[in-house]
Chains A and B, each alone.
Chain A
Amino acid sequence: MKITIDILQVLILIMAAPLVRGVIARLKARLQRRRGASVWRPYAELFKLLRKEELVPPTSSAVFRLAPVVLFGATICAAAFVPVMHASSLLGSQGDFFMLVYMLALGRFFLSLGALDGGSAFGGMGASREALVSSLAEAPFLLGLVALAVLAARADIAGMVAWTLGQNIFNISAVHILAFTSLAMVTLAETGRMPVDNPTTHLELTMIHEGMVLEYSGPSLALIEWASAIKLHAMLALLIALFCPWGMAASGSGWGMAAALLLYCAKIAVLAILLSVIESAVAKLRMYLVPDFLGVASAVSALAVIFTMWVKR
């Protein structure tokens, strides 16, 4: 029973990922007084791309074809760590958050290699910028999670979520606020959202992620787009599981699960609204201001770790 729910959770994270993206795009459009496309459009795009033929640069090697595949596999493996409906997940009780973070790093590593294999200037530009952003984002990401793990005295994600479930909802500490701030900032950087990267342009002055995928087409591009949607969904789900897990099903009963799923959808919707407001309200940072942004995130997360000293007892 438990394993069925665990697998179901991974499937939800994978299958609903384009929908989350569609909803955010739609909300942004409404905020900007446009009508916007249907929330199902990302699915249609994926189907379209999967059916198309693929264009491969003649100078590229096997790495170019391997990169999207590894990215997809690693992202799915990372998603398998994240709890959705109950305080457990497929890998969440055995593996810990270090593995989750490094799984995402594995995918990113290969995507950057794929970008460099295209042989054009844009791929290198995207990969180089991604290298800067991701190498600086790793420290606040892990430190924010460490602060929570120290409070929970557990390192496995399932245990951390279970510990938070046992706490009073009004018992929010400074550590939680600081850790949430830093992790939210990291989420923006990691998933290539607005103040750090603009997911909607192909303008070479600003782009990071879009620069890396410029040479990809057809099924490979579909895999990359899907993987980045899964990554966004999984990061949002991780934020929910760590900071607002209340409402997750305690038992394995069908009704409990259904209620937990509904509640999860509501929470994701709140986060989607927040994200679209931020993306509409904030201008993109200049490339060399991004390190400052991540520096603030690092400082905040370091403070979170230091403050665990006083909150723990």
Chain B
Amino acid sequence: MRLTQGTFSFLPDLSDAQIRAQIEYCLGRGWAVSVEYTDDPHPRNAYWDMFGMPMFDLKDAAGVMAEVDACRKTFPRHYVKVNAFDATPGWEALRLSFIVNRPPSEPGFGLEREEGAGRLQRYALRAYAASRPEGERY
């Protein structure tokens, strides 16, 4: 099951040239771009790990692309995403966030049903990959 998340979730994966163009757009607006990774695909997993510091004062996408490539090389079987934060209004807002790397195979999710009191039915999503410990998934 192909996991989607963020700004371009409805599109096929972006090519490197497209990623670069998106980053150029972000930098042109003065946003700070950062790279994050995780191996927990659950949609409620909002806490991804930072790959280095967010990058401020960049003029050209080459610096971010180098960081994205370094992250892909370090974590080839993780999800990697690029975030763009806008601090220009005086507070930080996430303007853009999209996945730039995914594991070669994504086993998807299992739906777990739990019987509660009476006829209550609870549901839970469990990622098959997440049954193994962190770092050994995928």
Q: A and B: real partners?
A: no
Residues in A lying within 8 Å of B, measured CB to CB: none
